[in-house]
Amino acid sequence: MHQKKGKKIFVYLFLFLIVGSINNITLNKIQFKNVKNIVISGLNENENLNLLKNIEVINLENIFFLNGNEISKIINSNSLVEKYEIFKKYPNTIDIKIEKTNFLAKINTNENTFLIGSNGKLSDIKFSNENLPFIFGKPEINKFIEFINLIEQSKFSLNEIKNLYFFPSKRWDLELKNNIIIKLSKDYTKISLDQAFEFLNDNNINNIKVVDVRIKNQIILND
């Protein structure tokens, strides 16, 4: 009885070794394709190239098992990127489609001038030569984005604005491109904006220098 069991175990072990060897040989012959092509679109040529160089530093794995976390980390660290999508194209290509951030204003930080993007990130001034409004004061970036959203919801547009002034009391003043200053309320900013817009649109503004709408339902002019 023990001899029969011993023979069975020997046969099973022999078959296991044969099958295991065949499987190993077969797997060794399978050549999975490594990533050979990375296609980036959405930025300008130089910006795409710089991002590509940063991604190529990663030891990219087989495309079937590619972990996008490392690539996402590099893309997210790029201040020019608003949104992006990553597509795997078999057998060996990664396609990265980027939506570039919109630059909203310029700000001075640590004695250097930066661009503030709609993604809330700061970029080097070299990335844009647009005539953007300049921010005086030190607002939190997220508060600035909130204020820009209010402007866009109001009857004003951002391209009418030359400068933005932020005060420690958390309120804003605007200087328009026609040099008129609008003093806004902290508590009902959008109402203040629309009130100022309607007043300027309905009146002769030749001699007006300041429109003060900090008090609800009142307009004070300083000329």
Span 97-111, pLDDT tens digits = 999 999 999 999 988
pLDDT at 67: 61
Question: Is 48 within a domain?
Answer: yes
pLDDT at 6: 55
pLDDT tens-digit series, residues 132-166? 999 999 999 999 999 999 999 999 999 999 999 99
Between CA 152 and CA 94 the distance in angstroms is 36
Residues 109 and 128 reside in one and the same domain: yes
Three-state DSSP at 171 gives: coil
pLDDT at 3: 55
Low-confidence ranges of the chain (pLDDT < 50): 13-32
Angle between helical axes of 189-202 and 141-153 (0-180°, round to 10) = 40
Task: State the first-to-last Cα distance of the chain, in angstroms, to the nearest integer.
Answer: 114
User: Which token pair is 109?
Assistant: 């930080």
pLDDT at 60: 65
Cβ–Cβ under 8 Å, residues 115 and 121: no
Residues 85 and 109 reside in one and the same domain: no
Question: Is 44 within a domain?
Answer: yes
Residues 208 and 122 reside in one and the same domain: yes
The amino acid sitting at 20 is G
pLDDT at 32: 45
pLDDT at 198: 92
pLDDT at 28: 44
pLDDT at 116: 97
Question: Is 172 within a domain?
Answer: yes
116 forms beta bridges with 105, 122
pLDDT at 189: 86
